A and B are shown apart, each in its own frame.
Chain A
Amino acid sequence: MSKETFTKLTATAAPLPIENIDTDQIIPARFLKATTREGFGDNLFRDWRYNADDTPKADFVLNNLTYADARILVAGKNFGMGSSREHAAWAIHDYGFKVVISSFFADIFKNNALNNFVLPAQVSDAFLAEIFKAIDADPHTLITVDLANQTITLANGLSESFDINTYKKTCLMNGYDDIDYLLSLKEDIKQFDLAHA
């Protein structure tokens, strides 16, 4: 059903070297009132990005023009903990990020990201530190995320592979979603439902 795919991306990255970033930071609850999937990017990291009077906080990474073209978000360990709100994945996608790199992801966020063609790529703590170092040395450094080969490669040649289950990999590369597959099982499900009424 979905037309979007993800195969390979070479882009600059925005660094957010904070651990345990929860979905309330990604998109605070008071911005969950929309009934469509669009527009959440404006409030991505709202309270870290803007002051109470809606002026941008100069020291926040997304307000730094250096990272304006970043399509990869690099964040500290345990990214996306807390609420199951898919709005967090929608906000990241709507803002323009295609990949989030961290050394650990919360489960529900990971599923939500994958269901929205945002790739959560988990790397080792050591490689994550290398990525932050590379961005620190050159904010315009390019990072290549290759889903087919499941690798992340830095401009300095350092590279690490990441895991993704084959099913979700196929979905991302071909633009499939879970409902397409589940609908193909409809007759099996009907029988199961009747047997467990």
Chain B
Amino acid sequence: MSTPTTLFDKIWDAHVVKRAEGHPDALFIDRHFIHEVTSPQAFDGLRKRGISVFNIGRTTATADHNVPTKDQHLPIKEALSRHQVETLRKNCADFGIELYDLGHPFQGIVHIIGPELGLTQPGMTIVCGDSHTSTHGAFGNIAFGIGTSEVEQVLATQCILQYKPKRMRISINGKLGKGVTSKDIILYIISKISASGATGYFVEYAGDTIESLSMEARMTICNMSIEMGARGGLIAPDETTFNYIRGRRFAPQGEAFDKAVETWRTLKTDEGATFDRELNINAEDIEPMITYGTNPGMGIGISHQVPNLSDIPESELASYTKSLAYMGLEPGMDLVGKPVDYVFIGSCTNARIEDLRQVAEFVKGKQKADGVEVWIVPGSVQVANQAKAEGLDKVFAAAGFELRDPGCSACLGMNEDKIPAGKYCVSTSNRNFEGRQGPQSRTFLASPLTAAVAAVTGKVQDVREFV
């Protein structure tokens, strides 16, 4: 019998084109996604070298990071943003790459459209010039973010040079409590192991809690793997995975699908396979989470207080104090009851239809609090259309929430969707870095449910008292 192997190793090893002494592995990439911000310099590189794209069928493009979320049908007003999107158009046309441009029914955040179109499948290697490419790992594949030089490598050769990372398994078992969502699971994990705790590792999420989650909830978890430093995170595919993929546009169809599922069923970590690090988490320990600081590791269960200075190691005190000063918070304080100015429901972490449904279910018949601005930015045109088909748009409109056009929006504030200086935003996105949502903006990362309750009450709340 062969040595027990992890799912990660199985997929990685099956994609090594060349393993040469003194070189990183040349890893074949099945699926490559590109967007307007991190691809132009890569295409320039191809032009300078005078080479074409290796296999145009393996790259898919969309415009998401830098697009307006209001009046998307009109030309982009801001000149630099417009130029960047036009450059993507030209590059895709020149090199023959499929582009889901603004106005296309498949346009959306790159990590939302890949899965919803069935481009994302188990067993694949997937890269994109965006760190949240880890999202796709929810389908049992190796997916990770890359820099622009690496985008150029993939365009030129369909390969990337990489050293194999170490393996970590995070097992979560038990039943989730009331009001606790997959977003809370991942914020909890990051708060336990820190924003750099998984650097150098690729994570497999396992356990019965994970198995009980929908694909969309699994994507939220894999999405934030990078926030603890991991290049990616993956979940072994199962019936939930196959049912999600079945019938999607670019998924195998009919007999080919059944055949694919047969192969996909073999994609699991063997009994007895070893990981470089193992972490076990009890789902019952997880509360609704919220971040208080300026990296995603700075999170607490909602019934806890912002850590006191005495809880912080000496070497981290300066960074900690700087972070709290930025956030305008005090050590030891409760966040429950803290007034907020903005609520952002969106991003590749939480802008799928289930997220919008969960928000709508809670806000139905309620009104947003005075003085709070609420933006709901769907992850894709398909999500937006689905929301409208289900009447969620009417629920949001009645509550005073603004349902916008798809894009990355206030997750990174590249377009005009910025949180003003000094204002507090409860955000379903993935990063609370200084200035992430706009210069001097202050971000509380949380689940869509916590965001919905904040929108209605105007404060950070323990959602368990509201659902």
Contact = CB atoms under 8 A, between A and B. Distances in A.
A83 B38 CA distance: 11
Interface string B136-172: 0000000001111110110011111101010000000
B239 interface: no
Contact of A82 (B152, B414, B431): B431
Q: Which range contains the number of A residues in contact with the other chain?
A: 35 or more
B80 A34 contact: yes
B316 A19 contact: yes
Nearest to B14: A196
B55 interface: yes
Interface in A147-187: 165-167, 170, 177-179, 181-183, 185-186
Nearest to B128: A84
7 closest A-B pairs by beta carbon, nearest first, are A86-B147, A35-B40, A112-B147, A33-B80, A115-B149, A84-B145, A182-B157
B153 to A, nearest CB: 5
Interface in A46-97: 47, 52, 76-78, 81-87, 89
Interface of A: 1, 17-20, 22, 24-25, 28-30, 32-37, 47, 52, 76-78, 81-87, 89, 104, 106-108, 111-112, 115-116, 125, 165-167, 170, 177-179, 181-183, 185-186, 188-189, 192-193, 196
Nearest to A89: B147
A32 B440 CA distance: 18
Given A35-B87, A86-B149, 9 more contacts: A17-B318, A22-B433, A25-B434, A89-B147, A108-B131, A111-B147, A112-B147, A178-B160, A182-B26
B87 A81 contact: no
B305 interface: no
A196 B158 CA distance: 12
Contacts of B149: 86, 112, 115-116, 177-178
Contacts of B229: 78, 81, 106-107
A34 B83 CA distance: 9
Interface in B408-467: 412-414, 421, 431, 433-436, 439-440
10 contacts: A17-B318, A20-B196, A22-B433, A35-B40, A35-B84, A37-B41, A167-B24, A178-B160, A179-B45, A182-B159
Nearest to B17: A192
A78 B195 contact: yes
A153 B229 CA distance: 29
B54 interface: yes
